[in-house]
Amino acid sequence: MVITIRPARPDDAPGVRYVGTVSWPATYGSDKGAAYVMSGLDQFWNAEAIGSAIQAGNIYVAESEQGIVGMVHVEELGADMVMWKLYVLPDHQLHGIGRLLVGAAKSHAGAHGKELVTEYDPSNERVRGFYLREGFEATASLWPGSDARWLRWTGVADQ
């Protein structure tokens, strides 16, 4: 399978939203429940939110011959670049696509002279391990009082 990582285009919005629609229930459904998943999809994966992020140049997609199979959303937040979303369709996981998307996020942050930060749900040990293997380290929360755990990537050597 050949995977291309590229900036998302406006006509990619349905494919990006599809990744969220499939990935969110698979990622959060059993732990957080259907109401949490539906609320998150409505808030973070609606057409306006995805369209705006694409227009701003903040979304990169992983594309195969089957279409869009993953995405990453990066955005400036103060002195940092935040990786808000990193999702790969469940049947395409464990093939290195997430790593390629993180590479795009690292490059994007570096091009803007920023360090890359991300957050994860503390119950998700799988994603924590993935980020640690990608060179992220624990850092202070950007949202004090939140349950989320934050990680920071500062290196440029492993790009």
Name the percent of the chain in helix, strand, coil, to the closest 5.
45, 30, 30
Eight-state DSSP code of residue 11: G
Could you read off the pLDDT of 42-76 as tens digits, one per residue?
888 999 999 999 999 999 999 999 999 999 999 99
Q: Report the CATH architecture of 4-153.
A: 3-Layer(aba) Sandwich (3.40)
Reference 147, options 32, 2, 7; nearest CA is: 32
Closest CA to 58 of 10, 96, 24, 92: 10
Q: What is the pLDDT of residue 74?
A: 97
Q: What is the pLDDT at residue 159?
A: 44
End-to-end CA distance of the chain: 22
pLDDT at site 121: 84
Res. 157: pLDDT tops 70: no
